[in-house]
Amino acid sequence: MPDLWMPGAIRADVGDHAPCDTQYPPKAIAHITWDKNATAAKPVDLVPFSALKSYFTGGGKSMAPHILWDPFTGQFAQFYPANSRSKSVVDLAGGTRTNRAGKVVIQIEAVFFPYCRVDGKVYAKLADTPCKGWQQLQDWVHSWGVPNTWPMGRPSDFTARRSESVWETQGGWYGHSQVPENTHQDPGSWPAFVTSGPPKPAPSPTPSKPTVSLKHVIAAARQDQPAADGHTTHKAEVLLVERALAAEKLLAATYVDGSFGTKTITAYAAWQKRLGYSGSAADGIPGRTSLAKLGSKHGFEVTT
């Protein structure tokens, strides 16, 4: 089941939960807080996220949305769980129950008003802001089955367009300006959906290296030499060791036959001496360290 509470959002539950009308398709409603009136000639500083959060948990509780989103910082606060109705739209008695006509009707208030000023810069449209956290928000809403579509078109201005039949029959995102029974004209704009592009092909699996058992090659070194010429004990693994020794120019290709005989013993002793071993430590019987170093250079792994 998707998360009732958006991961990473401040949980500021205002209570008074009520179920949605699940016979309708899932929806999201996009708002802006529009808590100040500004113009291009007279911009106004943005009201802080913390002030609006306090408002929706206090005197504005009766108008609280599900999510308060600050597109400048990526902060979120959530006042209702996803499966409850919230209260940021007009819902007339006997009407379409605008605040709950869907499996979910998730309402988002973006902290924004036209010509707000942040760090000295003025923003005319929400879509012009950094929109920090938008993908996180989009993905959480989508996890509740809300399609990444705008049945009545993505808002691009403050023109109101409403259709009760579209609202009741099509899931997706709606601007407040597109919700029946309401008169507001926001949000004016909204960021485009973030897409990750076509799926990348899965990387090809890395071929596994062949393995050589230390126990097996020691057994071969002890059993093949005293046996009849050409005797093999663990031929496949010995061949890997012999090919590596041949690559090191310590064993002639003629003797790469899978038998850990006298020539292979002598070649392996030469490899041990090359690594700095001497005396009984360079007797031609493989040890873990010398065998692992040979395997590391020539493409095999050593097991017990």
The mean pLDDT of 174-192, rounded to a whole number, is 97
109 with 165, same domain: the answer is yes
Q: Tell me, yes or no, whether 156 and 19 share the same domain.
A: yes
Asked if residue 267 is part of any domain, the answer here is yes
* Whether residue 127 sits in one domain with residue 252: no
Residues 152 and 247 in one domain: no
- Give a yes or no: residue 1 inside a domain: no
238 and 103 in a single domain? The answer is no
Confidence of residue 155 (pLDDT cuts 50, 70, 90): very high
User: Which band of pLDDT confidence, cut at 50, 70 and 90, is reported for residue 173?
Assistant: very high
Is the pLDDT at 202 greater than 70? The verdict is: no
**Domain for residue 236, yes or no?**
yes
- Among 107-116, 198-207, 225-234, 252-261, the minimum mean pLDDT is found in 198-207
Residue 191 lies in a domain: no
pLDDT for residue 28: 98
Residue 171 pLDDT greater than 60, yes or no: yes
pLDDT at 197 over 60: no
Q: Is the pLDDT of residue 12 over 80?
A: yes
CATH number of the domain where residue 107 is located? 3.40.80
Do 122 and 238 lie in one domain? The reply is no
Are residues 227 and 283 both part of a single domain?
yes
Is residue 119 within 8 Å of 98, Cβ to Cβ?
A: no
Residues 146 and 219 in one domain: no
Residue 96 has pLDDT above 90, yes or no: no
112 and 250 in one domain? no
- Do 17 and 122 share a domain, yes or no? yes
Does residue 285 register a pLDDT over 70?
A: yes
Do 239 and 123 share a domain, yes or no? no
Q: Is residue 201 part of a domain?
A: no
- Give the pLDDT band (50/70/90) at residue 203: low
Which range of residues forms the domain containing residue 296?
211-303
294 with 210: CB under 8 angstroms? no
Query: Model pTM?
Result: 0.66
Residue 175: strand pairing partners: 30
Q: What is the mean pLDDT of residues 11-37?
A: 96
Q: How many structural domains does the chain have?
A: 2
Tell me: pLDDT of 122 over 90.
yes
| pLDDT score at 229 | 84
pLDDT of residue 198: 59
* Residue 254 predicted with pLDDT over 80: yes
